[in-house]
Structure 1
Amino acid sequence: MQQNTLDFPLLERPFKADWPYLPLTLDPALAGDIDTVGVLDQLYSGLVSLGVGLDVMPEVANRWEILEEGLKYVFCLRKDVRWCDGTPLTAADFETAWKRVLDPALESPVASTLYDICGARAYHQGENPDPQSVAVQALDDHTLLVTLEQPTSYFLYLMTFSAAYPIPRHLLESKGASWADSENLVTNGPFELETWQQENDQDGTLSLVRNPAYQGRFSGNLQRVDLTALPTCEARLAAYENGQLDTLSFRNLSGDRDRIRQAHAGEYLSVPFLATTYLIFDATRPPLDDARLRQALVMAIDREQHADVNLNGFSFPALGGFVPPGMPGHSGEIGIPFDPERARGLLAESGFGVGHPQPEIEFLAGPDQESILNFLTEQWQNHLGISIPGKSADWETFVNRLEANPPHIFLNIWVNDYPDPDNFLRASKPLEWSRWQDANYQKLVETARQIPDQAQRMALYQQADQILVDAAVIVPFNYWRSHLLVNPEVKRYPTSAIKWWYFKDVVAE
């Protein structure tokens, strides 16, 4: 059993964390949203993990070799790792999990994460029906061999994402599709599931308890974590102020957030977060297939006003590329500038707007985006004199629309899966949903993923980001920061630019 090496006694009470949305699944192959992934990060442990400084650290694999100039990875697994039911974890659990993610019948939303593995894309896309064609192989119980299509400099980062977690092969064989149901669940992470009670994804509690079988580094003193979702922002704030929550996320927190920040100044924590709120204009169909109209719409948006005035500085205006600040390859000040006069000129050239036939443009966003929707609608009305009303939808409806029949314009947030520009500029859902194609852009990002020299890679990604921004197809709107209130009884609460849920390293009284 892992030992707590700190001078702090184990926390006897539950640590209660605000969790705006409870998970949609406990199956790593089916998890595509940040709230679900955050829970899976507590329940599962992969080959490697990302530390607070975004460095790759050993987990189930205690060492690895990179062979044949980056084409092959050999992971050597620890021999003391077990599932929480006591069953030894083996390399076959990884092989089974990854081939299952890629099985086209499963329709995993994260399958493309593994496309760098030789044969993975062809198997997932149905070009080769044989799962054995995917080049991941358990050589023995403690050795996993992975062969890539081509050298991929960010591959270890991919291995930190939940799509690369193992699953208990013995449970999959005995329980089938129900293996990840809460009553059957067997995991290998720092915590295991105790109870999960909810009315819906915004009202309930998921309780985790420390996993005695976990052999990784566990430097905190928490023994139980209650992830609590409450149905309203007012209920969340009241729970924190009444001592019923140890943390409160500002995410989706309505009301006077600046007043809340000032009232709890000594408990306030803010850190950069690798995420970008963005707009997508569908350039594949009228009227937005006209670049002049797309550019006019972008030039009519004062992103600085929204960030500085509407949001009181809680987010940064996205004046640069799609790749956010804090990530290698970020390009500042390359965005299409706010220029209403030029916007009106481009609008007139496009033959759209006042005095011209104006076909209906559908503008859609997911939940909790009403303030941005209203701001953008007002900007286009005030600066261009055109009406593009926005609508919001629940998350499931929104994602289904993006997958099946995207609206003309949609607003969404892209949160990184791994801290590399590739995850914004090539392997990202926004690019897939946009349906935009550019041969020069594609060549740049495909070349960059193979180059080992970091400076050369970043230069290529920056060229690609410039092309993307100039096309006015994916339009960065703001860059995120994580904002939290943390109870003074919490003595250590690690965060990074990727996550704020390092519960195994939290120390509280």
Structure 2
Amino acid sequence: MNKRKWMGVGLAVSMLSAALVGCGTKDDSNATKENTAATNEPQEINLTIGDEVPSLDSVKGTDSISFTILGQINEGLIRLDEKGRPVAGVAKEWKTSEDGKTYTFTLRDDAKWSDGSNVTAQDFEYAWKRGLDPATKSDYAFMLSWIEGGEAYNAGKGSVDAVAVKAKDAKTLEVKLTSPKPFFLEQLAFPTFFPQKKEFVDKSGDKFGGDVDKVLSNGPFKLSAWSHEQSVELVKNDTYWDKANVKLTKATFQVVKDAGARENLYESGQVDRALLLEDQVDRYKDKKDEFSRRADLASGYLEYNEARPVLANVKIRQALTYAMDGDKFTDVVYHDGSTGATGLVPTGISDGQGDFREHNGDLVKRADNLKKAKDLLAEGLKELNMTSLPAIKLLCSDSSSSKKGSEFIKEQWRTNLGIDVQIELVPFKLRLQKQRTHDYDISLSNWGADYNDPMTFLDLFVGDGPFNDVQYKNPKYDELIKSAQSEPDAKKRMQSLYDAEKLLMNDMAIGPVYFSASSFATKPYVKNWVPRVSGPDMDLKYTYIQGKK
């Protein structure tokens, strides 16, 4: 997501995917389970996205808006089927070594780029090594650094030739990992692992992934139009190896930031699916043929920039967290099934024995700690020799729900702490930039799972991590995460992750706000809607239109 999905309030819930294999979440598909053939009806679908697409460079993408489009127009060695299980994509078959560290993939002969050229093993080797190249500055390089030699190369301490991803020939790719990763095959469906054609990237230069003629596709669809800040249009890719099973001929994504505007477009038939918020949920929840709800496997939280002296104080961070009621926040701002957060890792993430959140407990305990919030603020200020909190800003994206969410938090802090903060609303892309350059005080962020494991949340905050925008540094925390990354014993590994989350919450490096769920209205004629848990919000390969009047 981006490692996960860098969304503000209201954007993440519209973009994060639905259910993860084995996690017990509900399939939000309105579709019939029949895999019927496409009818003679126009196979076109109209959808919305919450903001402009930041980038369609799969190596540099970090957000779910970009990943959603990339997931329709490109394909990795592996793709996920309609149930979310890893199946053959560009790779027709693969073998795994006995120690679980070496994978050998054989590519299918009919995998093509949208320019008609063959997709080769060299395209994967190039893309992955480009992602690891420190000059590329890919935020998702850490995923690729699990390849033997990858971490050293990305850190500028090793050579590209030592990175153990090798094209043995045009159709054979060998990958060696530093340690077994049981979720590796599933991860290969994630956009960071998509192929790239070197000649095309070189020709496009710095504008690669930034416009229609700077994007090359090998997936079910290809980019046909991109009106920046307005819409993205995809059409069926006739060079795709499995085009016979792709029903839709066109998919249009309109940029719509306002919830009311989105509902109006849905009601007028201009879009076929709409995220529902607040009172919209109540208006649609009894429409059984249209309404659906899903768990997002995502957390919303406050990021405290510890480079600001006042926010480097743990008691002040605790006070700000405890003074914000997560359950009330979700009811007032979303009213869509989201719940107040009790830690960083959301409900629904597996620990191998069940639900991680259930087993690690409530680490926020707002009901008990709210009464302490004002005293904690006073104690923190005293430690800093301050009598009042200096002027601070709350950074959010400029969607309609972001505005409402930021106003709610502002009022909670005024009521419970007697402080006033300034709200800073900016476009989504600018918010990403300000967080990445640490040009903010407090930011409301959202992160969704990249894979079904608590590590996908907890490794965000290692000291030198690319997504550690709060600049949290605790050697003990880093040690716990590093231990979990290399520990072969499943129980010992998970204990390190339990302990890491408890330490993170004790330090209150971030302030948990909510666990995200989403409610939708979808036209009954949209069949086989396939949601995804990470990266792309959905997979349109399997979707079709039937019964539209």
Judge same fold: TM > 0.5, yes or no: yes
Once residues 448 and 43 of structure 2 are traced to their aligned partners in structure 1, the CA distance between those partners, rounded to angstroms, is: 32
Once the two structures are overlaid, the 10-residue window that deviates more, 272-281 or 143-152, is 143-152
Give the 3 Å change call, closer, same or farther, for CA 430–51 of structure 1 in structure 2. farther
Q: Partner of 1:240: helix, strand, or coil?
A: helix
Please name the residue that 1:508 is paired with. Answer: 545
Matching residue's letter, 1:401: K
Contact persistence 2:47–2:252 (CA under 8 A): yes
- Structure-2 change in CA distance of 1:113 and 1:506 (3 Å): same
Alignment partner, residue 266 of structure 1: 289
Q: Are 1:17 and 1:225, in contact at CA under 8 Å, matched by a contact in 2?
A: yes
Matched position secondary structure for 1:485: strand
Q: Which residue of 2 aligns with 1:380?
A: 413
Return 5+ residue gaps in structure 1 as ranges. none
450, 460, 476: which one pairs with 1:440?
A: 476
Q: Does 1:479 align with 2:512?
A: no
Give the Cα separation in 2 of the matches to 1:477 and 1:379: 12
Letter in 1 for 2:363: G
| Aligned-partner Cα distance in 1 for 2:106–2:116 | 20
Question: How far apart, in 2, do the equivalents of 1:444 and 1:259 lie?
Answer: 44
Question: Is the deviation greater in 174-183 or in 302-311?
Answer: 174-183
State how far apart, in whole Å, the 2-side matches of 1:362 and 1:174 are. 42
Cα distance in 2, alignment partners of residues 5 and 229 from structure 1: 30
Residue aligning to 1:161: 190
Instruction: State which drifts further: 170-179 or 487-496.
Output: 170-179
The aligned runs of 1:103-502 (5 Å cut-off) are 103-128=133-158, 130-172=159-201, 175-177=204-206, 180=209, 181-196=211-226, 198=227, 200-201=228-229, 203-204=230-231, 206-216=232-242, 219=245, 221-230=247-256, 232-250=258-276, 256-262=279-285, 264=287, 266-283=289-306, 285-319=308-342, 321-329=343-351, 330-332=356-358, 333-338=361-366, 339-352=369-382, 356-368=387-399, 369-427=402-460, 432-498=468-534, 499-502=536-539
Are the counterparts in 2 of residues 414 and 430 from structure 1 also a CA contact under 8 Å?
A: no
Instruction: Using the TM superposition, give the Cα deviation of residue 49 of structure 1 relative to its aligned residue in structure 2, in angstroms.
Output: 2.2
Which residue identity lines up with residue 311 of structure 1 in the other structure? Y
Separation (CA, whole Å) in 2 of partners of 1:326 and 1:334 = 14
2:62 maps to 1:32: yes
Letter in 2 for 1:503: L
- 2:114 is matched by which residue type in structure 1? C
Counterparts of 2:177 and 2:288 in 1: how far apart (Å)?
Answer: 49
> RCO higher in 1 or 2 (8 Å CA, sep ≥ 6)?
2
User: Given that residues 490 and 507 in structure 1 are in contact (C-alpha distance below 8 angstroms), is that contact kept between their aligned partners in structure 2?
Assistant: yes
**Structure 2 counterpart SS, 1:244:** coil
CA deviations on 1:224-273 (whole Å, 9 max, x unpaired) are 212222464443222211112111123xx6x7323443475531111111
How far residue 345 of structure 1 moved from its aligned partner, in angstroms, is: 2.7
Task: Tell me the CA shift for residue 116 of structure 1.
Answer: 1.1
Matched pairs, number: 497
Query: Shift in Å at residue 90 of structure 1?
Result: 0.9
- Greater Cα shift, 230-239 or 267-276: 230-239
CA contact (8 A) 1:152 1:449 kept: no
- Cα distance in 2 for partners of 1:183, 1:113 equals 28
Q: Distance in 1 between matches of 2:482 and 2:303?
A: 22
CA separation in 2, counterparts of 1:292 and 1:497?
A: 35
CA contact (8 A) 1:366 1:412 kept: no
The alpha-carbon deviation at position 177 of structure 1 amounts to 4.7
Shift of 1:10: 5.6
Matched to 1:307, the amino acid is: T
The worse-fitting range, judged by mean Cα deviation, of 428-437 and 142-151 is: 428-437
**Structure-2 change in CA distance of 1:477 and 1:89 (3 Å):** same
Deviation of 1:299 after TM superposition, in Å, equals 1.9
Residue 59 of structure 2 aligns to a residue whose secondary structure is helix
**CA displacement, residues 13-50 of structure 1 (integer Å, 9 cap, x when unaligned):** 42112223342222212211111110000111001123
TM-superposition CA deviations, 1:177-216 (whole Å, max 9, x none): 55544125331101112222x2x42x23x22222232224
Give the TM-score normalised by structure 1. Answer: 0.89
Corresponding residue for 1:96?
126
8 Å contact 1:331–1:462 — kept in the other structure? no
Counterpart of 2:329 in structure 1: which amino acid? H
User: Residues 211, 371 of structure 1: CA spacing in aligned structure 2 closer, same or farther, 3 A cutoff?
Assistant: same
- SS of residue in 1 equivalent to 2:500: helix
Of 60-69 and 227-236, more deviation after overlay is shown by 227-236
**2:96 is the alignment partner of 1:73:** no
TM normalised by structure 2 equals: 0.83
Deviations 1:392-447 (A, max 9, x none): 22223322222223433221111233332222111477851121122232222222
Structure 2 letter corresponding to 1:193: L
Structure 2 stretches lacking a partner, 5+ long: 1-33
SS in 2 for 1:383: helix
| CA displacement at 1:120 relative to structure 2 | 2.0
Report the AA paired with residue 470 of structure 2.
S
CA deviation after TM superposition for structure 1 residue 503, in Å: 0.8
Instruction: Specify whether residues 497 and 270 from structure 1 end up closer, same or farther in structure 2 by C-alpha distance, changes over 3 A only.
Output: farther
Rounded Cα–Cα distance in structure 1 between residues aligned with 2:371 and 2:105: 58
Tell me the equivalent position of 2:31.
none
Structure 1 residues 73 and 341, CA, compared in 2 at 3 Å: closer, same or farther?
same
Distance apart, 1:94 and its partner CA? 0.3
The answer (yes or no) to whether the contact 2:317–2:511 under 8 Å persists in 1 is no
Paired residues of 1:247 and 1:485 also in contact (CA < 8 A): yes
In the alignment, the residues of structure 2 paired with residue 145 and residue 103 of structure 1 have an alpha-carbon distance, to the nearest angstrom, of 19
- TM-superposed CA distance for 1:355, in Å, is 9.0
The Cα shift of 1:96 comes to 0.9
- Residue 298 of structure 1 deviates from its aligned partner by 1.9
| Inter-CA distance 296–230: structure 2 relative to 1 (3 Å threshold) | closer
CA RMSD of aligned residues (A): 2.8
Counterparts of 1:506 and 1:385 in 2: how far apart (Å)? 51
> What's the secondary structure of 1:449's corresponding residue?
helix
- Cα offset for 1:147? 2.0
SS, match of residue 305 in structure 1: helix
Whole-Å separation in 1 of the counterparts to 2:48 and 2:410 = 32
Question: 1:164: Cα distance to partner?
Answer: 0.9
Report what 1:21 is aligned to. Answer: 51
Q: Give the residue type in structure 1 aligned to 2:387.
A: H
Ranges of 4+ aligned residues in structure 1 off by more than 6 Å:
none
